[in-house]
Amino acid sequence: MTVGTDPVLAQTWRAQRRWSLAASAAKASVQRWRLVRLVLGVSGAILATAGTQTDGDPGKVLSLIGALCVGLVPLVTSLRLQPARIEAWTRLRSVSEGLKSEVYLYLTSSDPYAGGEAERRAALSARRAFFEDDASELSAELPQLDPAADPPPPAVSDVDSYVRERIDVQADGYYRDRVARMRRGLTRIRFAEFVLALTGMALAVVAGTADGARLGAWVPVVTTVSASVMLYGYGARYQENLISFARTAEQLRRLRDDRMARMPLDPAEEARFVERCENVISIETQGWMARAAHADPGPPQ
């Protein structure tokens, strides 16, 4: 069915795009301020210590700038990374993913869209209203888009096309890419923590010698930098997301393979397959929301 003959589908897909764009903008803001917090924490520790070991006015300037950077860390957390902003991001994404799931259920005539055309459209309209009303306080975050530039809904007309457009893209594209990204991030964080730990131990050993007294001041700096890096990695949730994304991709592949092994299926079984796939994706989204909601415990002390 084309967009021109199904205005409810077109409106729902446009709404999904608006919520998705808003969620992406909120995510970019959170990631940007996490990076700013990391840079401030590291820079502040280094500059403040360098200031204590530099004579004259340059030392005072370095100490002042370092103290300013350190002071900005909790300010950034409280103003730009407070729980309300994280929650807004996750709820925007939740509505976006919820509407997307409803569209795929609708296009495959799966429950609750298995009735007549009028009933199906009424059900989709009601579900869209439910999702948007539940997050109505975030409506101001939605961008205004030109309807003429709207992309068409997914090219799905049956379960076979659903597998191609939804399951293959999610399992072999989206989640696989996210697994690779989380693995790279986790490797970088672990490497940085390892290097910082070795550096801290080396400084502590040298500081204990007669000629290493000045280096002793840098031991707390390495500790602070390490804490900032760990906080950044904690916010990204590399380990947990890696496991969750890999598990979800594998579950979708198994459902897809099981369907192929049992073909042909009757319409009721095909509908249950779509519902199970969407349920797997929904569970992962809910888990991601729970992880993201606890991703910013505050600046290192």
Mean per-residue pLDDT, 86-104: 95
Transcribe 254-292 into DSSP letters. HHHHHHHHT-S--HHHHHHHHHHHHHHHHHHHHHHHHHH
d(CA 90, CA 83): 11
Query: Residue 90 pLDDT more than 70?
Result: yes
Among 85-89, 135-139, 206-210, name the one with the lowest average pLDDT: 206-210
d(CA 288, CA 90): 8
What pLDDT sits at residue 212? Answer: 67
pLDDT digits (tens, 9 = 90+) for 182-191: 999 999 999 9
Residues 289, 94: contact at Cβ < 8 Å? yes
Q: Determine the 3-state secondary structure of 50 from DSSP.
A: helix
Mean per-residue pLDDT, 196-223: 82
Percent of the chain with pLDDT over 90: 70
Q: Which amino acid is located at 265 in the chain?
A: L
**Residues written for the chain:** 301
Mean per-residue pLDDT, 50-65: 92
Residues 10, 3: contact at Cβ < 8 Å? yes
- Residue whose C-alpha is closest to residue 64's, from 34, 37, 43: 43
What the block records as the tokens of 190 is 């672990």
Q: Determine the 3-state secondary structure of 97 from DSSP.
A: helix
Query: Residue 175 pLDDT more than 90?
Result: yes
d(CA 284, CA 243): 11
Report the 10 Å Cβ neighbour count for 137: 9
Among 102-116, 167-181, 208-222, 263-277, name the one with the lowest average pLDDT: 208-222
Query: Residue 228 pLDDT more than 90?
Result: no
Transcribe 132-148 into DSSP letters. HHHTGGGGGGSPP--GG
Q: Determine the 3-state secondary structure of 214 from DSSP.
A: helix
| Helices and strands, counts by H and E, the chain | 10, 0
pTM of the model: 0.86
Cis? peptide before 112, omega within 30° of 0: yes
Residues 63, 48: contact at Cβ < 8 Å? yes
Q: Where are the domains of the chain?
A: 3-293
Q: HSE of 159 in the Cβ direction (CA atoms, 13 Å)?
A: 22
The whole-chain average pLDDT of the chain stands at 90
Query: Residue 268 pLDDT more than 70?
Result: yes
